[in-house]
Structure 1
Amino acid sequence: MQETIRRILTARVYDVAIETPLDPLPRLSARLGRPVRLKREDLQPVFSFKIRGAWNKIAGLSPEALSRGVICASAGNHAQGVALAATRRGAKSTIVMPVTTPAIKVAAVRARGGQVVLHGDSFDDAYAEARRLEAETGAAFIHPFDDPEVIAGQGTVGLEIVRQHSDPIEAVFVPIGGGGLAAGVAAIVRFLRPETKIIGVEPVDAPTMKAAIDAGQLVTLDQVGLFADGVAVRRAGTETFRLCRDLLDEIVLVDTDAICAAIKDIFDDSRAVAEPSGALALAGLKTWSAAHPGSGSLVAVNSGANVNFDRLRHIAERAEIGEGAEALLAVAMADDRDAYSRFLRTLDGRSVTEFNYRWSGEGVAHIFVGVALRSGPHEKDDLIAALRGGGYVVEDMSDNETAKLHVRYMVGGRASGLPGERILRFQFPERPGAFLGFLNSLQPAWNLTLFHYRNHGDDVGRVLAGISAPPAELDALHAALDRLGYPYVDETDNPATRLFLDGT
C-alpha cells in the first residue's frame, strides 16, 4: 500500500495530461436531493483518463527500451494515450485493437501516430495478439491496467478529487474494466479520506471484478457485453484485483438502460456527451443513491467521451426507459375505431411517445405503444391497471430486451386484402389529443390500417398512417385531411411503401 501511494504521489502525468475539473451536476443533484459532482476526465487531450497511466509508464522507459518501440492492446482509450505518449517521446507505437472498436477511436489512434492492428472480437483477443507481437519485435508492452506505474498514473484522478473537494465526500464512484482506475483511485482516496466509501461500477453483462471478488480469486468470464466497450474485459488484472478486493467498499452493477440514462444526465447538466463506459460510474451512483438515501456528497468519474456519433440514436432511445420516463406496452384490443378511441381516452392526456400498428385482418389489433411517465415509478403500474380495467390485454415490454432492440421496429409488414389503402405521411403537433383528432376526422367507412409514430423531441411528431378508403371517396378523404390542418404527403406510390407495406 505504501509503495502504491508513493507511486501515485510522484507520478508524472502533467507533461501531457491536465488537471480536470470536478463539476457540479445541479439538475441531477436536485433530483437526488444531495450534491453530485462529476470528475471530467472526458476533457483530457485524448478525451479519456487513460493518458495519465500511459504517460506515467512511458515517461519512465529508458532510451534503449524506447528505441525498440512500444506496443499495447486496447479497446480505444488506452490506445490513444499510448500513441500520444510514444509520439511525444519519439518512439514507434503499435496498437492492437479489437475489430469491434468504434471507428472514432481507431481514427484517433492513427491521428496520434499509432500503427493500428485490428485483431479479434474482444480485448482478450487483441491482448493475446499484442503479446505475440511483443515477443516477436522486442517492443515494450504497455499494459492498459495491470501495471504499477499505470495504476499510479490513474490514481492521480483520486488525488485531484480529494484536493478539489475539501468538504466531506460520502462516496466516490469509479468505473471498472480491468481495474486500473478503480485500484489507483481507491488507494489514494482510502489513504487520504478513510471515511469516504469507494464504490466500483460495472455493467451487468461484464461483471469482471465483482465475479473475481465474489469467487475470492481471478476468474475469466466466458463473454462480456460490448455496449460499454471501454470496460469490456473478461479478466481483471492480478495487481488491480488485489487492490480492488482490499480497498473497494462494494461494486454496483448497472444495465444498458441505466448507462444511457446517465449519458443523458451528463448532457442535461454539462452539455457533454459521454461514451457508455464514461457514464458508467454515474449510472452506478444513481443506483446506489436510490438504495442509500441521504444528503452526503457523491462523486462520479466520467472516464471518457470517445463515442461514435451514430451510437447516439440507440442511446437516446434507451435513455428514457433507463430513467423511468417511458413505458413500452404491447396492447391487444378489438380492431375498430371505438376501441382505439377508448384506449386513447384511457391514457388520460399522457404523451404518447410511440405508436406502432398494422392491420392483420384477424379482428384483434396488436399495438406497440410508448407512453411518457412523469409522476414516478408507480405511474406505469397505475396505467397498466387502468388499461386492463378497461378490458385491454396489456404486456409490459419496458424491460424486454428483444422488444426494445428489435420488435419495436418490426411491428407491421405487408397486409393483403386492403383495396383502396392509401399510405400517408403526416406531421402531428406534439400535444395530447392530436391522434384522437385525427381518428375523429375519418368517416366510419374509412379504416385505419397502419400507424407508426415516434416522438423525436421536436414540436411536431412524424407519423406514417394507412387509411382504407374506396377510390371514389379519395377526394372526400383528402378534403377531410385538409380540414384537419396537419401537413401530409401521400406516400402510397413510394417504392419503400410498395416493397414493404403494400399487400396488393
Structure 2
Amino acid sequence: MKEVIQIYYPKLEDVKIAAENLSGVVLESPLPKSMYYSKLYNCNVFFKREDLQQVRSYKIRGAYHKISSLSPSEKESGITCASAGNHAQGVALSCKLLSIKAIIFMPRTTPKQKIEQVQFFGEEYIDVVLEGDNYDEARDAALLFCKENNQVFVNPFDDKKIIEGQATVGLEILKQTSIFIDYVFVPVGGGGLSAGLSSVFKSLSPQTKIIGVEPKGAPAMHNSIKKGESIPLETINNFVDGAAVKNVGGLNFQICKKNLDDIVLVDEGHICQTILDLYNKEALVVEPAGAMSLTGLSHYTESIEGKNVVCIISGSNNDISRTAEIKERALMYSNLKHYFIVKFPQRAGALREFVAEILGPSDDITHFEYTKKTNRQKGSAVVGIELKQSQDLEPLIAKMKANNFYGEYLNNKSYIFDFIV
C-alpha cells in the first residue's frame, strides 16, 4: 500500500495566535509606497519594510514564536540552530529575551558584520560556532551537536511554528491597507516566509498573486516545483547568503507548490544593481536577499502595470566590505565591466598605443596585470575595462582584433574569472 503523505498547511487561527505572541516583540513594519519604483513600473509599488525590525530582518518572527513555544525542560536543556546570519540574529535576540542558552552554528563564509550582530543580540546567552562553507554544512554540524547534547534544533524555515511566525507578515500587510493587493513579490530561500505569507493570502485574499523570487545561483525551490518533488542542488552560489540553500524545507515545498502562482529567478548581478538603486534612489541599505523581491518586478513589467504591488524588503544586514564586489557585479550585469587577456607587442609604446588608439574616449582601465617577457614577441596582460555605454563593447573588441591586441574574453570563463574579481 502506498504511503499517504500528510501535508501541513498553516491555519489562519494559528497565525493569529503567533501574531499575539509576537506583540511587543516585533515591529509592525511600515508599508510605504515607493514613488520612484511606482513611476518606473507604472503601478503602485509598496515596500513591506522588514529590514526595520530590531534584528533587521523578518526572522525574529519565526524564531521567537518557535523558541517561546518550547517546554520548560526543552528550554532548560538549551537550543541549537544553524544560519547564514538572519535566523541566527533572530534566535540570539529571542534567547536573550527568554533567558535561554543557545549554540549557533554559522558558515565560515558568513560576513563578519552578521557574526558580530549575532553576538551583540545574544550577549552571554549564545555561543557562535563557525562550521562549513555554506548553510547546509553548518546545519549538518549543528544537527550532530544537537543529537549528541540532547538539545532542540531550531530550524530556520522547515518548522510549523517558524512558518506561522513568518506568516504574520502577511497578516500585517492585509491589516495595513484597504486597497486590493494584486501582487506580492516575496524572496525565497528555504521557503519559510513564502510558505507562511502565501497561506495567509490564499485564505484572506485568494485573488492576490504570490510571486516567489529566488537567486539564479541557488534555484532550489524553482527546480523542485518544476520537477514536482523536493530535489537538493549539488552546488550553489553563496553570494545571496540569506537565500542560498541546497534544499528547501519539506513542509515549505508542499505549501509553496500549491500556493505560489509563479517563481522567478533573478541574476546575482541584477540583485546588486537593485541594491545600488535602492541606496541611491530610496536611501535604503539592504542585503542581497532583501533586494530580491524588488528585482523580480522586471519579470512582470507588463503584468503589473496599473496594479497594486507589494515587495517584501526582507533584510538589511549587509556588510559594507562587500560594497566593491556589489558594484563590480552590478557593472558586469549591466554589460559595462569587462575583462580581457590582451596581447601586447614586446616593444616600447605598445601600452600607449592601446590606450590612445584602441580604447574609446570614455573607456576606463580599472584592472591591469602584466609581466614583461623578454623571450617572446608578445606579452599577455589581464585588463579590466569599464565602459560608459554597453554598446561600446563590440567596437572595442573589433579594434582589439584588427590591431592584434585581442587575446581572450574572460567574463564568461568562471574558472579564470574567480581569480580576478
Q: TM-score scaled to structure 2, two decimals?
A: 0.84
Cα deviation, residue 355, structure 1: 5.0
For the structure 1 residues 242 and 16, does the alpha-carbon distance in structure 2 shift closer, same or farther, using more than 3 Å as the test?
same
SS in 2 for 1:300: strand
Q: Which residue is equivalent to 1:233?
A: 245
Q: Which residue is equivalent to 1:122?
A: 134
Is 1:4 matched with 2:11? yes
1:333–1:392 Cα contact (<8 Å) kept? no
Q: Which residue is equivalent to 2:85?
A: 76
Q: Which residue is equivalent to 1:467?
A: none
Distance in 2 (alpha carbons) for counterparts of 1:129 and 1:44: 29
Q: Which residue is equivalent to 1:462?
A: none
Cα deviation, residue 343, structure 1: 3.9
- Highest CA radius of gyration, 1 or 2? 1
AA of the residue aligned to 1:13:
L
Q: Which residue is equivalent to 1:255?
A: 267
2:337–2:384 Cα contact (<8 Å) kept? no
Q: Which residue is equivalent to 1:107?
A: 116
Map of 1:304-343 to 2, 5 A cutoff? 304-322=315-333, 324=334, 326-328=336-338, 330=340, 335=350, 340-343=355-358
Q: Which residue is equivalent to 2:174?
A: 162
393-402 or 220-229, larger mean C-alpha shift? 393-402
Q: Which residue is equivalent to 1:371?
A: 387
Question: Structure 1 unaligned runs (5+)?
Answer: 374-379, 410-504
AA of the residue aligned to 1:46:
V
* 1:326-345 CA distance string (max 9 Å, x none): 2536477994756644445x
RMSD: 2.9
User: What is the identity percentage for the equivalent residue pairs of Structure 1 and Structure 2?
Assistant: 36
Of 14, 18, 29, the match for 1:20: 29
Of 56, 59, 71, the match for 1:62: 71
Cα deviation, residue 208, structure 1: 1.0
Cα deviation, residue 383, structure 1: 5.5
1:206–1:232 Cα contact (<8 Å) kept? yes
AA of the residue aligned to 1:4:
K
Q: Which residue is equivalent to 2:4?
A: none
For the structure 1 residues 233 and 2, does the alpha-carbon distance in structure 2 shift closer, same or farther, using more than 3 Å as the test?
closer
* 1:431-475 CA distance string (max 9 Å, x none): xxxxxxxxxxxxxxxxxxxxxxxxxxxxxxxxxxxxxxxxxxxxx
Is 1:49 matched with 2:58? yes
Question: Structure 2 unaligned runs (5+)?
Answer: 1-7
* 1:23-67 CA distance string (max 9 Å, x none): 333333333333322221111111111000011112222323212
AA of the residue aligned to 1:121:
D
SS in 2 for 1:45: coil
* 1:149-174 CA distance string (max 9 Å, x none): 11011011122223334323332111
User: How many aligned positions are there?
Assistant: 396
For the structure 1 residues 404 and 193, does the alpha-carbon distance in structure 2 shift closer, same or farther, using more than 3 Å as the test?
farther
Of 25, 43, 59, the match for 1:34: 43
For the structure 1 residues 28 and 342, does the alpha-carbon distance in structure 2 shift closer, same or farther, using more than 3 Å as the test?
farther
* 1:195-231 CA distance string (max 9 Å, x none): 2211111111211111211221121211221111112
* 1:184-205 CA distance string (max 9 Å, x none): 1111122222222111111112
Map of 1:443-462 to 2, 5 A cutoff? none
Q: Which residue is equivalent to 1:426?
A: none
* 1:407-439 CA distance string (max 9 Å, x none): 4x7xxxxxxxxxxxxxxxxxxxxxxxxxxxxxx
1:51–1:80 Cα contact (<8 Å) kept? yes
Q: Which residue is equivalent to 2:153?
A: 141
